[in-house]
Amino acid sequence: MKTSRALSAALTPWAGLVIGLIAAAFVHQFGSEGTFDHCDAFAPGPAIVVALAGLIATLTAGFTSWRSMRGADETRRLIAAISVGMALLFAFAIILPVFAAVLISPCFQ
């Protein structure tokens, strides 16, 4: 039990970076495959749902990294701060294709 807590404490500052990267890559891949493979039949609904799920995962992971800054040493605070910043950048990267999916026809993207 102690090792799982220690592992969790060691990985918490990295959550926003790792989970945000995975979520942004998954959202991008889902949107790209749907748009390029089936642009005639592609509806923005599933892409928006996947993007919102990725956005929630990214922001939750960023908040987890933010909370890990309390009571941590300088190195962990630096890692957590970079991780929070990257989570926000990934969230921005997820939001932009949502606007494109709503505003632009898939065959013209």
> What pLDDT is attached to residue 106?
61
Q: Are 45 and 102 in contact, with CB atoms under 8 Å apart?
A: no
The CA distances from residue 99 to 10, 37, 42, in Å, are 36, 20, 15
Residues 18-73: tens digit of each pLDDT: 999 999 999 998 877 766 666 666 677 888 899 999 999 999 999 999 999 888 78
Q: Are 34 and 73 in contact, with CB atoms under 8 Å apart?
A: no
Q: Which pTM was predicted?
A: 0.83
Q: Where are the domains of the chain?
A: 2-108
> What pLDDT is attached to residue 109?
54
> What pLDDT is attached to residue 99?
83
Task: Count CA within 13 A, CB hemisphere, residue 44.
Answer: 12
Query: How many degrees, rounded to 5, is the angle at CA 84 between CA 22 and CA 33?
Result: 25
Whether the pLDDT of residue 1 is over 60: the answer is no
